[in-house]
Amino acid sequence: MVALLPDESMSQEALPLTDLANVIRSKNAGPLCFTVDLFFSNAQAYARAAQSEALQINSVAACYGLMATQVRRFELPHIFAIKLSMPRTVCAGNPGDGDLYGAQQHAPLLSLRL
Amino acid sequence: MTHPTTPTAVSRLLDSHRMGQERLRVLSASGQLGFGIVQESFERGLERKPHFIGCDMGSIDPGPFYLGSGQMAAPRDMVRRDLEMVLKAARQLNVPLIIGSAGTAGAKPHLEDTLSLLKEVAEANGLSFSVAIVLSDVPRNLLVQAIQHGHLKSLDESGASLNLPLPNEEQVMSASHIVAQCGTHTFMKALSQKPDVLIAGRSCDTAIFAALPQMLGYDAGLSLHMAKIIECTSLCCTPGGRDAILAELGEFDFFLESMNPAAHATPASVAAHALYEQSNPWIVEEPEGTLHLKQASYLALDSHRTQVSGAQFVPRSSPTLKVEGASHAGARAVLLAGVADPTMISIMPSALLEVSERVRKLVPGEWTMVPHLYGQGAVRQLAQAKRSLHEIGLVIEFLAPHAAMAKTAAAVFKQNLLHFGFAGRLTTGGNLAFAFTPSEIDANECYQFVLYHLLEGVSPEDVFGIELHQWNFDEAPA
């Protein structure tokens, strides 16, 4: 279930995140948390992403089926990056874990339009 | 024969290096010792006459199996090869060799395994030297007391982490292995014994590279920031890689230079590395305090090297330790199969339930079954519309108190699911496609993390043991 929330304040048409970012990665930050790093191609793409509704904490939480209080967002404008950290659904390596390294948890973001 | 009067690699460095006269050259040879050090890059690093060589050997990332079982994640032959490469180089240059998180998880069996391989290498090459070791296993009683006093806490209270409940006394006592990450101060204490080589159990990655600089008077913030970056070797470069990296540390900054001429440390690539596997890109918690990276600055020295400065270290009043523990959760068998029949795919959840009930009557005992339906949301939950109906992969875990029961449950389950009858069934020849036989496989003992917490109010001296050994293998075999 992916939230499509184009930013109405932008005059331009919403663009796919995959066109704006050159890295969209996820990885464990310890066995209880995973973190998503989005690196954008240039200042313009970063600015659009930083302001976009789709990457606000509420939207990201909805996208991952989490509460807004479970998502932390960091903006790193000097390297055109946004970081999103959130809890894993199960502890890494527990029976039933489907992604030990948390390296494929970026997938729900791939269809976002900003 | 011992050599008590011969200066060791550490004593030589501490006596000869003067901050301000020349930069301290730190060579990080490997971020995962035992998976193959790139020889050409490492040798280029040696040509630069490093003041010491460091390697990280472990991580919690490969999961609870390694900590729980006491096994190394890296293949032994490759560990021996890498150890030989770095030990011979360090002894030849007579510079300290520092290895942290020995044998993947850094508990006693991992440390012992690493030391025995190191000894083999030393013997084969006729090398004599002193080796300091740090034991990182946490005494159980100390941990039980800490829990009673409320000194064991969640590591991240921001809400962005899953809550791992505090273990009770019985869980602490029955855990397979429990380690704490020793920090820079523990490394400094071990290095104050003036060894040639330091092999530590579970360690903060930073301690490997920040301890000697701090003993030489370098700024804690700079040393730790440098250490944090180079413990992953050339991962901070573009393109990232596993090649050795050289850091040149000064009083006010450090320079980063990959020993692979094609991997460039650029301001953007180095700054971006601060995000890697960190939930908060601006803060690194160490036992001794907090490293703040928000004010760090990154400047290109040229197209290949970056100058870094500005990180701040704020010490805390009493040290905190990150504790990791894993417990045995049984033996695991897995069943692997594919399904291409759309009706069978659509009824799979109810088929699994029904077959489970049947098998439970046939195979007594405390076994459990966990299905992973690839194509239907095994990696992460998938919306109904995105689930595959054409072909799915089925991986079913069976956990039991012992391997034979897990395997029996898997085999009986396989046969019952293969011939499971359901309304509208066309596929009466069998519901599953197997790629090989047997399709149920022993999948080792299963371990789970029971501890990933913050330990307060405990002195590192009470947790970490330090020993110094002298190894003499001067008589090289002919």
Answer yes or no: are the C-beta atoms of B388 and B376 closer than 8 Å: yes
The answer to whether B271 contacts A79, with C-beta atoms less than 8 Å apart, is yes
**Which residue, chain included where needed, has tokens 């596997």?**
B277
- Between CA B189 and CA B196, with CA B195 as vertex, the angle to 5 degrees is 135
Give percent above pLDDT 70 in chain A. 90
Answer yes or no: are the C-beta atoms of B334 and B359 closer than 8 Å: no
Say yes or no to pLDDT of B238 above 70: yes
Q: Which residues are paired to B15 by β-bridges?
A: none
- State the pLDDT at residue B156: 87
What integer is the mean pLDDT of B243-247?
98
- State the pLDDT at residue A2: 41
What integer is the mean pLDDT of B194-210?
98
Q: How confident is the model at residue B474 (pLDDT cuts 50, 70, 90)?
A: confident
Q: In A, residues 68-87, which contact B (CB 8 Å cutoff)?
A: 69-72, 74, 76, 78-79, 81, 83, 85-87
Query: Which tens digits make up the pLDDT trace of B336-379?
Result: 999 999 999 999 999 999 999 999 999 999 999 999 999 999 99
From chain A, the residues in CB contact with B372 under 8 A are 96, 98
What integer is the mean pLDDT of B241-248?
97
A90 touches chain B (CB under 8 A): yes
Alpha carbon distance B29, B11 (integer Å)? 22
The interface predicted TM-score of the complex, written ipTM, equals: 0.93
- State the pLDDT at residue B475: 64
Nearest to B449 among A93, A99, A108 (CB): A93
pTM equals 0.94
Say yes or no to pLDDT of A50 above 60: yes
Taking alpha carbons only, the member of B316, B32, B277, B325 closest to residue B181 is: B325
Answer yes or no: are the C-beta atoms of B432 and B339 closer than 8 Å: yes
Q: How confident is the model at residue B477 (pLDDT cuts 50, 70, 90)?
A: low
Query: Which tens digits make up the pLDDT trace of B431-471?
Result: 999 999 999 999 999 999 999 999 999 999 999 999 999 99
From chain A, the residues in CB contact with B272 under 8 A are 37, 39, 79, 81
A87 Cβ contact list (under 8 Å, min separation 6): A32, A33, A34, A66, A70, B159, B160, B161, B162
Range in B4-13, B182-191, B415-424 with the lowest mean pLDDT:
B4-13
Alpha carbon distance B236, A38 (integer Å)? 16
B256 Cβ contact list (under 8 Å, min separation 6): B226, B229, B230, B236, B245, B246, B247, B265, B270, B305, B306, B308
Taking alpha carbons only, the member of B224, B212, B191 closest to residue B311 is: B224
B386: left (phi over 0), alpha (psi -120 to 50) or beta: alpha
- State the pLDDT at residue B6: 81
The answer to whether B162 contacts A98, with C-beta atoms less than 8 Å apart, is no
- State the pLDDT at residue A4: 42
